[in-house]
Amino acid sequence: MEKDGLSRADQQYECVAEIGEGAYGKVFKARDLKNGGRFVALKRVRVQTGEEGMPLSTIREVAVLRHLETFEHPNVVRLFDVCTVSRTDRETKLTLVFEHVDQDLTTYLDKVPEPGVPTETIKDMMFQLLRGLDFLHSHRVVHRDLKPQNILVTSSGQIKLADFGLARIYSFQMALTSVVVTLWYRAPEVLLQSSYATPVDLWSVGCIFAEMFRRKPLFRGSSDVDQLGKILDCCCCRQCYCLCGEWGHGRRLLFCAEPIMPCGLIALLWKLLCCSCGSFDSCPSSAWLSSSSLSSAVLSAWGHFRCFHSEVGRSMTR
């Protein structure tokens, strides 16, 4: 509904600042004038419409987001409102109103002083991340673009997943824009544009997991081909790391920055990366394809951390 030339979104939400721009459109920090002036994040997307109106795929994706909101999951960013306004016969402006969080994981990691994020904090963040991801997967939502910029961190350390379930809404804009989308956290299936399912998100979690310790990306490719090459050099070589304790040239990749990852978490990292894409025949991948089992694995791996000073030290000198 429009009034005096203004859409409902323009009437209810007062933009304060532009806080982001991506393949899908722009993001604004705004005040919700009908709810005490609380801050919200407005994501404005232009959707191409056909003769029959907005594409059914877009309607379905928005319906999924609205359905997920009814659960108010603590580790998923909340969707407060959806506004639409027709710009032309061929285009509709879709405004998604989310809760606003001041920082993402990238900003959080940049602010952490030396020697880095405490392992106890990483444990807690990983558990929250996997719990939120398990919720999405249980509702058949594959994120597909998990990266530190899409993981929000509140002032109290609460993790919230953002930008999920919008692949179909964004697909048209992403095909037309020249905005460079980072490749560093994308699974091989996504890079190769092949079919994919929930394991692609577990791959991204593994990359993010390593970055929490290393404080820099695990695979820093400059193109699709370069990214795949870096992945193959590490994860498709059986001598990189074997869970029985044998080490190969891959140890330089995993131990090139302090603090050294504890043994139990290295094993978990390798499960996330290699088992999610089936790189190891001997890996019981079926047991690792659900993020809920991985949440439990984070906690069980924690019990083995006392050995990391001695065992990892010996491994690095071999």
For residues 310 and 125, what is the distance between their CA atoms, to the nearest angstrom? Answer: 26
Query: Of the candidates 182, 188, 293, which has an alpha carbon nearest to the alpha carbon of residue 235?
Result: 188
Query: Burial, 261: exposed, middle or buried (Cβ in 10 Å; 0-12, 13-18, 19+)?
Result: buried
Strand partners, 13: 32
Structure tokens at 136: 């999405």
Residues ≥6 apart with Cβ < 8 Å to 175: none
β-pairing, 159-161 with 38-48?
Answer: unpaired
What Å distances lie between residue 240 and 68, 244, 304, CA to CA?
Answer: 40, 12, 21
Helices (H) and strands (E) in the chain, counts: 13, 10
Q: Are 43 and 53 in contact (CB under 8 A)?
A: no
Q: Is 145 a catalytic residue?
A: yes
β-pairing, 159-161 with 2-3?
Answer: unpaired
Q: DSSP per residue over 282-296, as a string?
A: TS-GGGTSSHHHHHH
43 is in an annotated binding site: yes
Spot the catalytic one: 81, 104, 145, 201: 145
Q: Are 98 and 77 in contact (CB under 8 A)?
A: yes
The annotated binding site for ATP is made up of 43
> Which residues are known catalytic residues?
145
The annotated binding site is made up of 43
